[in-house]
A and B are shown apart, each in its own frame.
Chain A
Amino acid sequence: MEVKILSAKFDIEDGHKLEIAKQHGAYATIDKLFSMKPEEVIEEVRNSGLRGRGGAGFPAGVKWGFLPKGTGKPVYLAVNSDESEPATFKDRYILVKDPHMMIEGIIICSYAIGSHDTYIYIRGEYTSQVKALQAAIDEAYEAGYLGDKVAGHDFKLEVTVHRGAGAYVCGEETGLLESIEGKKGQPRAKPPFPAVAGLYGCPTIINNVQSIASLPFILEKGAEAYKVYGTEKSSGTHLFGISGHVEKPGMYELPLGLPLLEVVEKVAGGVWKGRKLKGVIPGGSSTPVLTPEEAKTVTLDYESMAEHKTMFGSGGIVVLDETVDMVKLVENLIYFYHHESCGQCTPCREGLGWMLKIIKKVVRGEGEISDIDLLSELCDNIEMKTVCVLSAACTMPVRSYLTKFRHEFDAYVSEGASTAEANQE
């Protein structure tokens, strides 16, 4: 089931080094790139159907088209390598194993959108990864792929790595921009959208690492070759991260559109220890959970996920076995989002604070049925009423657990914490 497009060079020894990478085709598209007009590059990417791999799945070529023309201001490219969504761990493979593929992608994107300054925003926790990335960038500068004349062409490009320092909210586009500007990562009100007024008030494109890294293939082989993989509306391949209760967790490159359970079974070795499946989180912790029943019919693409009232997200699949205590899982989730709320707007800051207080009360066995109702009421009261979607990233999954596994919450209330826990064993 696995395919090797993005991960083609992952298994090559020292494939992260420029010399080796070049032997395997790195930077092969540069000359072709500069023979094309920027609009042609955008057209090619649009035709490929490449969708933003950060989680929202917005078509990349269309996004680039939002840039206003002739503002007289510089255009910036920000590469989102914050990868902080729990259960997501795909981009770091690119940063470490094939950074030059991403740098090549940055050159392609920059040329297409007319940008001469790229900032790669990498999460602070990626310590060794940032070193590997910086080393690759230094190599690229040295070899003339970056700097005043990209590969000898009359095109200047500076790439700067900007390290985050522990804030999930900086994965949100405008939180990320604020962070580059030296501020706390409080997302901005939109409009204006970053394409119009982003970094330093200038037009800015923000793309995920994987989206950028997909560009060399598209440019080299063409949009049609990319569309061979995946479904009609969800084209190409994706780096899926499978974690949780499976025999063989890890990162796998797969075309979009495969049946989820088949992937869990065949690629990740199935539910571990011969246990039964209790649920699957399909695309990172912020996506609503699927019951085993629902999981049976879902395929790994944007459309099928939407049909199942969940989201494709970041491709971080988490498998939950029969022993998982859903109440405590929800506590773990709420704790995370509460910890990461930037504190800017009231519903998220206060609302998540309340949700945490309530779930802790329930977990302690001191909860009442009305508390569980209050929890779902708070979900409704917070969701989509905030500056950014961080709180929705919490309320959407929490609501799914409350609906699909309500009896477990009720048990904590009616039977007390210890009995409820014991029942789980």
Chain B
Amino acid sequence: MSDRSQLISTGEPFKFDQERDTEFERLIKRYPERESMILPALWLTQEQEGWISAEAIAYIADRIGTFASKVFECATFYTMYHLHPMGKYHICVCRTLSCWLRDKQAIVDYLRDEIGIEPGQKSEDGKFSLEEVECLGHCGTAPVVQINGEFHEEMDVEKLTALLAELN
């Protein structure tokens, strides 16, 4: 999303929960080099917390035994890692070729008006965040929207209205 250069500190120490800890230990055995765990560990963090804090970056670096700046580098290079808290429903609208051809703009416009936020923003009540993303690989059922990882295909305003009502 918008500014990906600065991390937010929670002020609280971060640590994997039991489930993620087990998964981390399972995965690390699969790689001959520990640094390979940077991406998986960032994912585990995001699954657990919804986003990646400054403390989490330090924790991951320490756990893997690498420089925190390397973890930071990956966290900022890969755009799917959230470096600040997202809305309860994080809505991604595909903006690329096939979805663009099938009027993704109508979807974006509708969401903008309905939720009252621009792409890259989070609603004040923290319920929604909106993001325009690059090709989601569902071009045959364009336009496509992804909400908290779940795909909603062949979207139009009508379907979106129903969907939002459900979420609300």
Contacts and interface: CB of A to CB of B under 8 A. Distances in A.
Interface string B61-81: 000101000100110011111
Contact of B78 (A128, A164, A285, A336): A164
Contacts of B150: 127-128
Interface residues of A, number: 54
A124 B78 contact: yes
Interface in A75-121: 83-89, 92
A336 B135 contact: yes
Contact of B101 (A85, A179, A244): A244
A39 interface: no
A165 B78 contact: yes
Given A86-B96, A86-B97, A332-B100, A165 B35 contact: no
B133 interface: yes
A107 to B, nearest CB: 17
A19 interface: no
Contacts of B70: 182-183
Interface in A115-167: 123-128, 158, 160, 162-167
Contacts of A241: 139-140
A285 B97 contact: yes
Contacts of A339: 134
A243 interface: yes
A320 interface: yes
Contacts of B38: 182-183
A168 interface: yes
Contacts of A160: 27, 30-31
Contacts of B139: 86-89, 241, 243-244, 249, 316, 318
A322 interface: no
Interface stretch (B5-13, B39-47, B107-115): B39-47
Given A124-B78, A180-B36, A89 B137 contact: yes
A125 B35 CA distance: 22
Interface string B147-168: 0011100000000000000000
B58 interface: no
A245 interface: yes
B142 interface: yes
Contacts of A342: 77
Contacts of A126: 137
Nearest to B78: A165
B154 to A, nearest CB: 9
Given A127-B149, A127-B150, A200 B33 contact: yes
Interface in B96-153: 96-98, 100-102, 133-142, 146, 149-151
Interface string A169-202: 0000000000111111100000000000000100
Given A181-B36, A200-B33, A333-B97, A340 B134 contact: yes
B146 A184 contact: no
B56 interface: no
A163 B36 CA distance: 11
Contacts of A92: 137
Contacts of A183: 35, 38, 70, 73-74
Report which residue of B40, B96, B141 has the largest number of chain A beta carbons within 10 angstroms of its beta carbon: B96
A318 B112 CA distance: 28
Contacts of A329: 97, 100-101
A323 B12 CA distance: 54
A166 B80 contact: yes
A324 interface: yes
Contacts of B73: 183-184
Contacts of A125: 80, 133, 136-137, 146
26 contacts: A86-B134, A124-B78, A125-B136, A125-B137, A127-B151, A128-B149, A128-B150, A160-B30, A164-B80, A165-B42, A165-B78, A166-B133, A167-B79, A182-B38, A182-B66, A182-B70, A183-B35, A185-B78, A242-B140, A243-B98, A244-B139, A249-B141, A249-B142, A251-B140, A335-B95, A336-B97
Given A158-B30, A165-B80, A165-B81, 11 more contacts: A83-B137, A84-B135, A87-B139, A164-B39, A182-B38, A182-B64, A183-B70, A185-B77, A336-B134, A336-B135, A342-B77
Per CB-CB distance, the 9 closest pairs between chain A and chain B, nearest first, are A165-B78, A166-B80, A127-B149, A182-B35, A243-B139, A182-B38, A184-B77, A243-B98, A166-B79
